[in-house]
Amino acid sequence: MGDLLFKSLTETMSRLSDMVASFLPRLIAMAIIIIAGAIVAWILKVVVRRILRLIKFDQLSETTGFTRLLTQSALPSPADLLARFVFWVAWFAFLLLGLNALGIEALNNEIGRFFDVLPQIFVAILILFVGVVIANFFGRATLLGAVNANAPSPRLLSSMVRFVIIALAVTMALERIGLGQGVVLMAFSIAFGAVMFGLALAFGLGGRDAARRLLEKRFLEDKKKDDDEGISQL
């Protein structure tokens, strides 16, 4: 009995040590690949940025209007954006390579599936990018419009506009890569409906007097102007 137990333990320990002995080098290889990948990606980023600056990529982009589009959307310059993109693509590739080095079949299958949906991921990233550009543009337009109209809480209004547009872009991006299509869409619809209903209730119940004054001012006083618009500016 004692011998049998000892033998069983010895075999288990032996198998475990074999497994560790065979897995550890792969784990170390993965770590080395990921760390080396980060260093290579960083070097690539620096090199790409220098080359782009050397060829005056930002100035070239100005003629196409791309620089202005990014600047107007509060995003970094085209050269900087491209260098960052190269960094993330390179590092992500090394990350997948490292995971592949582990040799876990299930993980490899997932990585294979990931490459199948890679084109969709690029489309989703593009949707997100366009969403952020549009959100920043309309967020700023709302802020300026609200400030100049002397509307209350202009920053809140601007943030709400930005949030709604980005939420819509995220929903579309997630739907594109097939992540919880129905759930995401439904969650967005419910959240958006709740916000609108909440605002309607808040304005209707909490701000009845304000609404009345606003409507009276808008329609009954025939746009009587005072302050800075009580006289011709030109």
By the criterion CB under 8 A, which residues form the site for another protein?
Answer: 68, 71-72, 137, 140-141, 143-145, 147-148, 150, 154-155, 225-234
The answer to whether 131 touches 172, Cβ cutoff 8 Å, is: yes
Nearer to another protein (CB atom), residue 120 or residue 153? 153
Rounded Cα–Cα distance for residues 175 and 28 (Å): 37
Q: How far is the CB of 146 from another protein (least distance, A)?
A: 8
Compute the distance between CA of residue 61 and CA of residue 55 in angstroms, rounded to an integer: 11
When the beta carbons of 21 and 150 are compared against another protein, the nearer one is 150
Spatial CA neighbour of 101 closest among 31, 18, 35:
31
CA-CA distances (angstroms) from residue 47 to 14, 55, 113? 49, 12, 32
- In the complex, minimum distance from the CB of residue 233 to another protein, in angstroms, rounded to a whole number: 4
Q: How far is the CB of 212 from another protein (least distance, A)?
A: 21
Query: In the complex with another protein, which residue's Cβ is closer, 145 or 185?
Result: 145
Our CB check for another protein shows the closer of 182 and 232 to be 232
3-state secondary structure (DSSP) of residue 76: coil
What is the nearest approach in angstroms of another protein to the Cβ of residue 59?
Answer: 12
φ, ψ of residue 130 in degrees (nearest 5)? -60, -40
